[in-house]
């Protein structure tokens, strides 16, 4: 059973939230994807709760997760972040922005040769820790770095 | 929608490097429009990538991915001529599919 | 923000580096380059096109990361379709420009002695539409921005090559130069106050770019997704100093664009680009 599916089934006990998710259009039943969208993790306001709901609770700090991100974001709406896990047996990776209204950004599961590497552009509401968590060999690991977000002057 | 996606797949040593761009507003549901009305959340929430039809990446996205989302990932064992596919869907059920041949 | 601005204003009142008496456009440009070489001894002339990005490696890295696979790529394809779509009479935009529109944008703006006014690239686009019985596009707005973002990209790598020849052209250049140096708005700043006298300094979290190299890379996609034309940017800057902006394609902005683009002569063009 893949990690996303496991996290979803664990949270699916909260039927009320599931119903709300459908009503607000956050989850479209019948989508041809393996696991349903992890509403509990994506809507959690607390970063630790988001991590736990996504299945990354109890993560150990690891310097083998490399995060490339700017010191000061040019524009908080588009912050380029690249994360690589050098931990052997990495099967999934998730990105969190601790001070965002909804800290969980995305969750990725690797298989059939995909490397534990993701490059993307994220939104940051304000200066915050950007955290990357990883599942490897059934255990959770994490690393983070701070990215500053400033509000312009005349940048337009 | 095919023309809402741009893809590139090239060899970096013996690894396929894939870059994907999808045209999408990725509205968070927290912003207001000119008439002070909340713009509802509208975002790509699931993306699957395949190599020659086999799943290599399954992902779930939240509203925190930037507008016109970009994603880069790498596949070991791919080679020129292989097909990389993307199947994405947003929270309203609209699908975005794309395919590129590894250069 | 108030404190930083007061500091800059105090600095300006105390008197700043004068660029010296200028005899003509080329003398102005050379004097201006010398001015920036004094402020930024470690920035090469060809990197002036990066503006504040050339002053900050962290910012430049983000720019490079975006430009590898820009967020605006699919928007740019809209501009390409606009450029390539035939008019009702079957002709295309390429028929209005020498060389089919390739490597021409660096020659704009130019002074047209027949109509006695500055002609911008956007004017040429609209002239083409009019000549072919099509409706003209609104200046400084999104459609014109997307079309020119693609059309000008056909001149990528071409050096800016604006000419000021003859007394009428020189007069327009001088008007643009004067506008650039005239204080404006409630904050009483001129373009020169920030981009010449305070280049490299910060207004809040934005570092001020040098004016040489500014005009070579428009339109821009701000945040990678919002198209802004050069004259659209003039409007934003004027609003920032609490001045009432002029209209795009006004005589003031066309003369200003003429002056500003001349000052970027010799630098390679690239359109469109990412900016914060």
Instruction: Classify B50 as helix, strand or coil.
Output: strand
For residues A135-152, b (16+ Cβ closer than 10 Å) or e, as one string? bbeeebbbbbeebebbee
Mean pLDDT of the C229-255 span: 96
Closest to A116 (Cα-Cα) out of A71, A74, A83, A81: A83
> Is B90 in contact with B44 (CB distance < 8 Å)?
yes
> What pLDDT, in 10s, does the model give residues C201-221?
998 889 999 999 999 999 999
Closest-CA distance, C82 to chain B, in angstroms, reads 16
Subunits with 3+ Cβ pairs within 8 Å of A are B, C
Read off the pLDDT band of A30 (50, 70, 90): very low
For residue C218, tell me if it sits in a domain: yes
Closest to C27 (Cα-Cα) out of C156, C173, C132: C173
Closest to C51 (Cα-Cα) out of C206, C225, C236: C206
Sign of the Cα torsion C96, C99, C101, C103 reads negative
- The domain that contains B74 carries what CATH number? 2.60.40.10
Query: Which of C121, C153, C185 is at the close of a domain?
Result: C153
Q: What per-residue confidence (pLDDT) applies to A3?
A: 60
For residue C254, tell me if it sits in a domain: yes
Q: What per-residue confidence (pLDDT) applies to A24?
A: 45
For residue C217, tell me if it sits in a domain: yes
**Domain with B21 in it:** 5-101
Read off the pLDDT band of C15 (50, 70, 90): very low
Examine the domain organization and report whether C138 and C40 are in the same domain. Answer: no
Q: What per-residue confidence (pLDDT) applies to C247?
A: 97
Query: Which of C153, C186, C218 is at the close of a domain?
Result: C153
**How many domains, in total, are found in chain C?**
2
Read off the pLDDT band of A13 (50, 70, 90): very low
> What pLDDT, in 10s, does the model give residues C32-88?
999 999 999 999 999 999 999 999 999 999 999 999 999 999 999 999 999 999 999
> Does A21 reach chain B within 8 Å, measured CB to CB?
no
- What is chain C's mean pLDDT, rounded? 92
Full pLDDT tens readout for chain B, 103 residues: 448 999 999 999 999 999 999 999 999 999 999 999 999 999 999 999 999 999 999 999 999 999 999 999 999 999 999 999 999 999 999 999 999 999 9
**Domain with C245 in it:** 2-13+22-69+163-275
Q: Pick the more confident residue, A14 or B78.
A: B78
Read off the pLDDT band of C272 (50, 70, 90): very high
Residues of C in contact with A155 (CB under 8 A): 205-206, 222, 275-276
User: Looking at the partner chain, which of B46, B60, B70 has a beta carbon nearest the beta carbon of A120?
Assistant: B70
Mean pLDDT of the C261-274 span: 98
> What pLDDT, in 10s, does the model give residues A107-119?
999 999 999 999 9
Closest to C40 (Cα-Cα) out of C59, C24, C58, C53: C53
List C-alpha distances in Å: C16 to B65, C34, C182.
45, 15, 15
**How many domains, in total, are found in chain B?**
1
Q: What per-residue confidence (pLDDT) applies to A119?
A: 98
Read off the pLDDT band of C240 (50, 70, 90): very high
Examine the domain organization and report whether C167 and C255 are in the same domain. Answer: yes
Phi then psi dihedrals of residue A92, to 5 deg = -150, 160
Q: What per-residue confidence (pLDDT) applies to A4?
A: 58
Q: Does the pLDDT of residue A15 top 50, yes or no? A: no
Q: Which residue ranges make up each domain of chain A?
A: 3-149
Examine the domain organization and report whether C82 and C64 are in the same domain. Answer: no
Examine the domain organization and report whether C265 and C180 are in the same domain. Answer: yes
Count of beta carbons in the 10 Å neighbourhood of residue B79: 11
Does ipTM top 0.90?
Answer: yes
Residue with tokens 């934003």: C236
Read off the pLDDT band of A2 (50, 70, 90): low
| CATH fit for domain A3-149, picks 2.60.110.10, 1.10.260.40, 2.60.40.2470, 3.90.1150.10 | 2.60.40.2470
Closest-CA distance, C71 to chain B, in angstroms, reads 6
For residue C124, tell me if it sits in a domain: yes
pTM summary value: 0.88
8-state DSSP, B25: -
Residue with tokens 């020129």: B80
Beta strands in C42-183 (DSSP E): 110-112, 117-119
Read off the pLDDT band of A155 (50, 70, 90): low
Q: What per-residue confidence (pLDDT) applies to B40?
A: 96
Examine the domain organization and report whether C217 and C110 are in the same domain. Answer: no
Residue C128 catalytic? no
Residues of C in contact with A152 (CB under 8 A): 204-206, 276
For residue C158, tell me if it sits in a domain: no
> Is A156 in contact with A110 (CB distance < 8 Å)?
no
Examine the domain organization and report whether C180 and C63 are in the same domain. Answer: yes
Q: Does the pLDDT of residue A19 top 60, yes or no? A: no
Residues of B in contact with A120 (CB under 8 A): 65-66, 69-72
Mean pLDDT of the C125-142 span: 96
Calculate what percentage of chain C has a pLDDT beyond 90: 90
Examine the domain organization and report whether C142 and C219 are in the same domain. Answer: no
Read off the pLDDT band of A5 (50, 70, 90): low
């Amino acid at each position: 059973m893949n990690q996303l599916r496991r996290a979803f089934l664990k949270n699916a006990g909260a039927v009320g939230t599931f119903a709300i998710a459908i009503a607000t259009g956050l989850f479209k039943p019948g989508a041809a994807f393996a696991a349903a969208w992890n509403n509990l993790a994506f809507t959690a306001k607390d970063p630790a709760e988001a991590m736990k709901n996504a299945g990354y609770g109890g993560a150990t700090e690891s310097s083998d997760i490399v995060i490339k991100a700017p010191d000061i974001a040019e524009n908080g709406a588009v912050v380029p972040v690249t994360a690589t896990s050098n931990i052997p047996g990495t099967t999934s990776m998730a990105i969190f922005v601790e001070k965002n209204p909804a800290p969980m950004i995305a969750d990725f599961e690797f298989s059939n040769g995909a490397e534990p590497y993701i490059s993307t552009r994220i939104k940051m509401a304000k200066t915050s820790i950007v955290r990357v968590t990883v599942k490897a060999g059934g255990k959770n690991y994490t690393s983070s770095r701070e990215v500053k977000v400033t509000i312009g002057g005349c940048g337009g | 929608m095919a023309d809402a996606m741009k893809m590139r797949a090239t060899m970096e040593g013996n690894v396929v490097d894939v870059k994907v761009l999808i045209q999408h507003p990725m509205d968070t549901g927290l912003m207001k429009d000119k008439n002070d009305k909340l713009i509802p959340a509208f975002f790509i929430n699931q993306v699957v990538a395949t190599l020659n039809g086999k799943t290599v990446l399954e992902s779930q996205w939240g509203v925190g991915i930037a507008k016109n989302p970009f994603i880069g990932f790498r596949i070991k064992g791919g080679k020129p001529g292989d097909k990389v596919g993307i199947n994405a869907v947003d929270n309203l059920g609209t699908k975005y599919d794309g395919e590129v041949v590894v250069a | 923000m108030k404190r930083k601005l007061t500091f800059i204003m105090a600095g300006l009142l105390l008197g700043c580096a004068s660029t010296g008496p200028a005899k003509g456009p080329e003398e102005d440009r050379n004097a201006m380059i010398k001015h920036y070489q004094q402020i930024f001894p470690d920035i090469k002339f060809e990197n002036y096109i990066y503006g504040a990005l050339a002053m900050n490696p962290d910012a430049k890295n983000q720019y490079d990361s975006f430009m590898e696979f820009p967020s605006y790529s699919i928007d740019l394809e809209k501009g390409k379709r606009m450029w390539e779509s035939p008019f009702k009479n079957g002709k295309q935009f390429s028929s209005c420009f020498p060389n089919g529109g390739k490597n021409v944008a660096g020659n704009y703006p130019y002074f047209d002695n027949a109509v006695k006014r500055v002609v911008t690239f956007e004017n040429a686009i609209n002239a083409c539409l009019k000549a072919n019985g099509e409706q003209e596009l609104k200046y400084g707005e999104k459609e014109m921005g997307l079309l020119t973002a693609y059309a000008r990209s056909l001149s990528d790598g071409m050096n800016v090559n604006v000419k000021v020849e003859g007394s009428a052209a020189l007069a327009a250049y001088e008007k643009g130069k004067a506008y650039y140096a005239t204080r404006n708005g409630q904050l009483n700043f001129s373009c020169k106050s920030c981009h010449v006298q305070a280049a490299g300094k910060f207004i809040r979290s934005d570092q001020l770019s040098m004016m040489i190299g500014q005009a070579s890379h428009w339109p821009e996609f701000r945040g990678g997704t919002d198209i802004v034309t050069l004259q659209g940017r003039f409007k934003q800057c004027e609003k920032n100093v609490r001045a009432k902006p002029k209209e795009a394609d006004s005589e003031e902005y066309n003369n200003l664009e003429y002056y500003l683009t001349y000052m970027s002569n010799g630098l390679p063009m690239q359109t469109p680009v990412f900016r914060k």
